Chain A
């Protein structure tokens, strides 16, 4: 434990803390009865994921994660909760303790299988990199290799905006 106070040891400790925060946020998001608390848990979890992206050498994607997920998606969900006003999640008759146990079992089997797969596979060693994945390289790839997908996703986003507006307005006209 003498190497804990070097830069690498502190980075490892911080990594463990971030992983704990991420999983705690995920637990809050899936288990809390009140929906505003679940959205706060989701924001905490996605902030942790953004910090993990920092560890993966991609600060641009981390900034986008904070901007799009924490800044836009979570706020939109909060607006929907305000408009729909669901209150506490009610426990109806068919919702028994058995369904919670069953869904936990399914998720646990999936996680166990994925972790076993991740730890038992012999991953190949790192090949020679053609670039270092900086923001400049991301921009170049977006405008050369992936330019068609880039255009396509802008069309998808435009259609999503129009579709969301149409759906929300149709409900209003009916009343």
Chain B
């Protein structure tokens, strides 16, 4: 595989998307603050969106499908970020902390 065929092969995009997804999973498991978890979830969502876009560019008969799906993922991600951040601020007002180790009132 030479360098000028890289932007025109499906596999290179899929590998980048898989790496982004793996980074998101790593951050989700390793982070200890709620905002860190939110940042990792954005990485997960962008990995999934990149997969959709790559398949829609290279394999789909109708290339608008993946683009519209990615636009919907963006809308859902924006809504999710707004809700999650307001929950985080409410948690901070009650606990004075956004560390996941401190928010353990329901811990058995």
| A77-B35 in contact (CB<8A) | yes
| A12-B3 in contact (CB<8A) | yes
* Minimal beta-carbon separation of B40 from chain A (angstroms): 6
- Chain B residues lying within 8 Å of A149, measured Cβ to Cβ, are 72
* Minimal beta-carbon separation of A22 from chain B (angstroms): 7
| A107-B23 in contact (CB<8A) | yes
* Minimal beta-carbon separation of A133 from chain B (angstroms): 3
Instruction: Tell me if A's interface is mostly helix, strand, loop or mixed.
Output: helix
A107, B31: Cα distance in complex, Å: 13
Instruction: Tell me if B's interface is mostly helix, strand, loop or mixed.
Output: helix
| B63-A12 in contact (CB<8A) | no
If A8-B4, A65-B74 touch, does A131 touch B23 (CB 8 Å cutoff)? no
Residue of B16, B31, B85 near A22 (CB, 8 A) is: B16
**Number of contacting residues on A, CB 8 A?**
99
| A133-B86 in contact (CB<8A) | no
* Minimal beta-carbon separation of B8 from chain A (angstroms): 9
Residue numbers of B with Cβ under 8 A of A are: 2-7, 10-16, 18-33, 35-36, 38-40, 42-43, 46, 49-50, 53-54, 56-59, 61-65, 67-68, 70-72, 74-83, 85-90, 92-94, 97-99, 101
Provide 9 A-B residue pairs closer than 8 Å at the C-beta atoms, listed in order of the A residue.
A12-B4, A30-B27, A52-B13, A52-B50, A69-B77, A77-B39, A86-B33, A86-B99, A110-B21
